[in-house]
Structure 1
């Protein structure tokens, strides 16, 4: 072949490559948010959806890998790629991609809620609204409920869909400490009796922060915070009686309140090892799993204050620059199915987000058959004492005040 012909062929290939590069549709660019769900399912076939979220729960990781992923592959030919990452790193990644102008990012689905959802939505990092397009959301979820309307008091507006419910409980070993405090007055007596054997995670640990807010609720109530202005002076004045209580608690805590465990996992390990007389969890049935796994003794039990404990819903969102929005929507819809919600309830003991009254008899039977395990609070009693979360804007203010006014005081 002559050099002239070779040059001509190379020139033609270059032109074709340039043309193709200019006209090629980018991954995800063809997604039509107005399409019906059947069309979205077709678009999702053969896709890989990358699910970013906290990876510290090994049982949840296993459930996602061995239950959710196979279901998505079998039913929709969607590959679920679970990518463990802390939410602050996820938000930093999303923000960095946005600043760089990356239209097709590295994140599709996100496990998110509370302050992080507020920050992500306010900064335009999320795709939506999408929730009302999902059949299982319309069928199984009470879209008019306060927890689906707002996340930590912040309007959701369809930018996330529910994943599971949580509610804080406290945990002790009835064989070691027979009493279970029913309020902050009894908790003070308990802490004094078992001096050095009680503490809580340092804020802003999620569970530690929720515990402090629960103390605030028990002492000054929760209603005033629902529409409170996010002003530090106003918040501090409102929670001052609780701050005084926490300061009074300090000398009787582990390490005399000079320092606190860095995370709830550290607190739980200390309780499991017998170093502490009490633990706490935002997963109300985690005590049953720990008993099953031999981490806790059979006599461990969860308890809550008489006035109630804070509960919230965690959610799934979609990145604004996700190149696989169709697959993300299909995956989120499937996780809200009665089958996967019942599986999550059975395997992970996570409170389901589906409305029981909306289910068929066969679907109800799946939930009715779940054994919530030893040491737990019956679901009806637990939910009857479920208190609303504070607005997201107030949480970091309270955490800042705690660090200044309680630690080491």
Structure 2
């Protein structure tokens, strides 16, 4: 409030000077008479200083001066002062009493052995928030995973289906703002990319537990796709679960010669209007398609192609070089899309239904290994095939993470370890279960030698995988 006191002093001085001037004027007038003269001077002054907190005060200062016995001069000064005052902000509480990256050694599990953590998990209910748009994935979670969690560890697994991972992130943020520092409703989240970065930067995660998890011994912990999540250091704040590889799905009966690269794919879309589309971003399937177009334009513009952007924080100058060409390409192809580009499928399941109905003949999405189970279930035609564009296909890793305020951290660790176990990775690798790519190290790959590959599924070794941009690029491109 020091600034306010100084302003008051200055205004009192201004008021006094005003009075003196008025007195002088009254006394020096040629036609002055001995009658009473009342002179009122009103000075309104507004001082505005922009700061963190605005304090508005109204100060009225009255100075009365008797000029003669018959002359009274009254000066009224009205002041509205807006002064910024820096108010110290109390640091956020950390760990179990507030938001902050909570290390295992600072948690309620500190000092426990793995067997003790398993014992603590028994009889608890685990709320796993995850995207629930795939019937195949939901069946795996509520079948094998739920059954094994119950039979092996006595954990009641509750899948909480959400349409977007950000819903789970927002729940943790809202509960933190409400003071739920140790009794949140979210125990585990299927996550990666920008959502992980948001939670980590906000200090909302439980971390530091890889060394105590038995299944982490079967993972190359230093590998880029494990140690970094869209460029954000993982720092033992999440557990790897799947490798997500994109590919092109197509009906070989309708598209006997599929396009070889992105330019050919876009050209074919306009040669056969209405046969291709993609979900509108920020849906993750639509987002990865747009990033493929962005990469393709970068390969034509930047000296090192899209690799000039991979592995570095968002660069406005590089973005400005590539973005106009990307939007021009997408705008040019829009009239060629399904329904003339006037509407887009909301997500990958909706896109797959269009393909199943033969409304579109091909599409780009994650999870080519899942094509086999969808053929076997009758959703996709038997003529379905998958392949990778010659220009490459974006791939990444997805994880499960534990919020710092989960009341069931023991159960979350145990289920995360189950998902990462050889048994868990092997079960979901079968084409009739999910057909997902494992995240284990090379020494563990012998366990997968007998997993059959469906005729519809491309050999992963035939796909040239493209690295992901750091997470801060993605929402800007979307």
TM-score tier, shorter chain, comes to 0.7 to 0.9
Q: Secondary structure at the match of 2:207?
A: coil
Output the aligned Cα RMSD: 2.0
Unaligned runs of 5+ in 1: 1-27, 400-409
Q: Give yes or no for contact 2:250–2:258 (8 Å, CA) kept in 1.
A: yes
Shift of 1:312: 0.9
Displacement after TM superposition at 1:275 (Å): 1.2
Q: Which residue does 2:54 correspond to in 1?
A: none
Q: Alignment partner for residue 440 of structure 2, among 351, 354, 357?
A: 354
SS state of the match for residue 368, structure 2? coil
| Residues 141-164 of structure 1: per-residue CA shift (max 9 Å, x gap) | 111111111111111111001111
Q: What is the TM-score normalised by the length of structure 2?
A: 0.72
| Bigger fraction of residues in strand | 2
Offset of 1:100 from its aligned partner?
Answer: 1.1
1:310 Cα deviation after fit:
0.5
Once the two structures are superposed, residues 289-308 of structure 1 have per-residue CA deviations (whole angstroms, 9 ceiling, x without a partner) of: 22111122111111221131
**Residue matched to 1:376:** 457
SS in 2 for 1:348: coil
Q: Normalized against structure 1, the TM-score is what?
A: 0.84
Q: Counterpart in 1 of 2:87? A: none
Instruction: Give the Cα–Cα distance (whole angstroms) in 2 for the partners of residues 270 and 219 of structure 1.
Output: 28
Deviation for aligned residue 1:227: 4.2
Residue 205 (structure 1) aligns with? 283
Q: Which among 203, 206, 211 is matched to residue 132 of structure 1?
A: 211
Map of 2:118 onto structure 1: 41
1:156-181 alpha-carbon deviations (Å, 9 max, x no partner): 11100111111111111111111111
Measured against aligned partners, the alpha-carbon deviations of 1:76-128 in whole angstroms (never above 9, x if no partner) come to: 22222222123222111111110111121111111111111111111122111
The total of aligned residue pairs comes to 364
Find the partner of 2:139 among 38, 49, 62: 62
Q: Distance in 2 between matches of 1:273 and 1:266?
A: 11
| Structure 1 residues 182-217: Cα deviation after superposition (integer angstroms, max 9, x where no partner) | 112211331122122212111111011101111222
In the alignment, the residues of structure 1 paired with residue 135 and residue 403 of structure 2 have an alpha-carbon distance, to the nearest angstrom, of 24
Q: Map of 1:5-404 to 2, 5 A cutoff?
A: 31-86=108-163, 87-102=165-180, 103-137=182-216, 139-220=217-298, 221-230=305-314, 232=316, 234-346=318-430, 347-355=433-441, 357-359=442-444, 364-365=446-447, 367-382=448-463, 385-399=464-478
Comparing 249-258 with 146-155, greater Cα deviation is found at 249-258
Q: Contact 1:287–1:374 (CA<8 Å) still a contact in 2? A: no
Partner SS state of residue 260, structure 2: coil
- 1:172–1:279 Cα contact (<8 Å) kept: yes
Structure with greater contact order relative to length (CA < 8 Å, sep ≥ 6): 1
Which consecutive unaligned segments of at least 5 residues does structure 2 have?
Answer: 1-103, 299-304
